[in-house]
C-alpha cells in the first residue's frame, strides 16, 4: 500500500488500546520487523491476532509472510506523510498503566 487510506479516527482508535500501543512502541524501538510471536505482550495468541489485525486494518502496520512466519513492521513513512507529527507525539507521550481502581498513572517503559 503506497498511500495512507485509513481515516485518522481508525488510526487513533487502533492506537488507543494500551496493548496495541505497546506493540507499536516495540516496533518503533526496533525500527524493523517483529514476528507475531516476538511481541512482548501478555495476551493469548488469539488476542494477539486480533490486535495485529486491528493495527493492520487501521494502516498502522503491515505484514510480510516468510515461510510459516509473519513479520510485522510499522508504516512510519505512510503515517508521517498522512498525519505529520502524530506518531512522534504518541510515542513521546509517557506510557500509562490503568490500574483496577480506574486511576491511570505513568509507567516507565
pLDDT per residue, tens digit, the chain (109 aa), is 445 677 999 999 999 999 999 999 999 999 889 999 999 999 999 999 999 999 999 999 999 999 999 999 999 999 999 999 999 999 998 876 655 555 555 544 4
Q: Which CATH class is domain 8-102?
A: mainly alpha
Q: Measured between alpha carbons, how far is 75 from 51 in angstroms, rounded to an integer?
A: 16
What are the structural domain ranges in the chain?
Answer: 8-102
Q: What is the DSSP string of 63-78?
A: EEEETTEEEEEE-HHH
* 3-state SS class at 62: strand
Tell how strand 104-107 and strand 61-66 pair up. Answer: unpaired
* 3-state SS class at 95: strand
71, with CB counted inside 10 A (0-12, 13-18, 19+), is middle
Statement: the pTM of the whole predicted model exceeds 0.85: no
Amino acid at each position: 500500500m503506497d498511500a495512507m487510506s485509513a481515516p485518522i479516527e481508525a488510526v487513533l482508535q487502533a492506537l488507543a488500546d494500551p496493548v496495541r500501543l505497546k506493540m507499536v512502541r516495540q516496533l518503533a524501538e526496533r525500527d524493523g520487523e517483529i514476528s507475531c510471536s516476538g511481541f512482548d505482550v501478555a495476551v493469548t495468541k488469539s488476542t494477539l491476532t486480533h490486535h495485529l489485525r486491528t493495527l493492520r486494518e487501521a494502516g498502522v502496520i503491515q505484514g510480510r509472510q516468510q515461510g510459516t512466519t509473519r513479520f510485522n513492521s510499522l508504516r512510519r513513512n505512510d503515517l508521517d506523510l498522512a498525519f505529520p507529527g502524530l506518531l512522534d507525539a504518541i510515542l513521546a507521550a509517557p506510557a500509562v498503566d490503568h490500574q483496577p481502581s480506574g486511576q491511570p498513572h505513568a509507567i516507565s517503559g
